[in-house]
Amino acid sequence: MKFGVLVFPGSNCDHDAYWVLSTVAQQPVTFLWHESHDLENCDAIVVPGGFAYGDYLRTGAIARFSPIMEAVRKFAASGGLVIGICNGFQILCESGLLPGALMRNVTLKYVCKPVHVRVENVDTPFTNTCRQGDVLRIPIGHMEGNYFCDQQTLETLHRDRRVVFRYCTSEGEIAPQSNPNGSLDNIAGISNKGGNVLGMMPHPERASEPQLGGTDGLKIFQSMVAAAVAVSST
């Protein structure tokens, strides 16, 4: 399975994702420059964290117009796997690949710490190695992680099981004190209608090796590999 990691001016988690995919998950991976239209026959795309184009205007607002995102939109429309992490989640929302928006944290402060998220749907290409209700410990690092959408969209997300991760306590309880940024309904990650696009604020690439304090994040990438293997064997 070949992964492509997008690189925008200001990206700062692209090399982290590349390292985990190539060295830990041991998968072929390449960088994809923002000015390119070519996804180089990749099977999955990672839109990494960072500060694409300096996060001027709004987070992700400029990145959505980059040539590479035009290719990513077509790729996603054809069923290709796309994961947006942190700033990548913001870019996917700005690009119309996911509904809603990421606003300033309710505290108006940058938050950087490990959090717990509960797996709400294991029937996705990103969570198939997890069990329903699993609690994962994964770091966050963002200023605009406060997910918001209108009530109709929220109802649709829940009805279609598109809320994939929610902030929780270490015991798996969904509670106000476990919400680090004010996100609506403790939402930490959602998918598109087709289930092939995921956006999540926590950084799985920062929780994929024991040296970093845990490997819960590796399950996300392992799930993507397993999903691709399942498709190729059918």
Three-class DSSP labels, 109-120: CCEEEEEEEEEC
Asked if residue 233 has pLDDT above 90, the reply is no
Structure tokens at 87: 């700033």
Superfamily of domain 3-232: Class I glutamine amidotransferase (GATase) domain (3.40.50.880)
Of the candidates 160, 162, 189, 187, the residue with the CA atom closest to the CA atom of residue 174: 187
The model's confidence at residue 106, banded by pLDDT at 50, 70 and 90, is very high
Write out the DSSP string of 39-64. Answer: -TT-SEEEE--B-GGGG-SSTTTTGG
What is the pLDDT averaged over residues 133-157?
98
CA dihedral angle for residue 121, residue 151, residue 174, residue 124, rounded to 10 degrees: 10
Catalytic residue among 94, 120, 144, 205: 205
64-86 per-position pLDDT tens digit: 999 999 999 999 999 999 999 99
CA distances to 102, 108, 136, 177, 218 from 182, rounded to whole Å, are: 10, 10, 19, 10, 26
85: left (phi over 0), alpha (psi -120 to 50) or beta: beta
* Beta-carbon-side half-sphere exposure of residue 176 (alpha carbons within 13 Å): 1
pLDDT number for residue 116:
98
What is the pLDDT averaged over residues 111-132?
98
What is the pLDDT averaged over residues 190-206?
98
Distance of alpha carbon 30 from alpha carbon 173, whole angstroms: 38
What is the pLDDT averaged over residues 207-220?
97
Catalytic residue among 13, 34, 42, 86: 86
Verify whether residue 86 is a known catalytic residue: yes
Q: What is the pTM assigned to this prediction? A: 0.96
Of the candidates 129, 58, 132, the residue with the CA atom closest to the CA atom of residue 90: 58
pLDDT number for residue 56:
81
Average pLDDT, the chain: 96
Asked if residue 22 has pLDDT above 80, the reply is yes
Secondary structure letter of residue 190 according to DSSP: E
CB 41 within 8 A of CB 32: no
Q: Give 231 or 29, the one with higher predicted confidence.
A: 29
The model's confidence at residue 231, banded by pLDDT at 50, 70 and 90, is confident
Distance of alpha carbon 12 from alpha carbon 163, whole angstroms: 26
pLDDT number for residue 184:
98
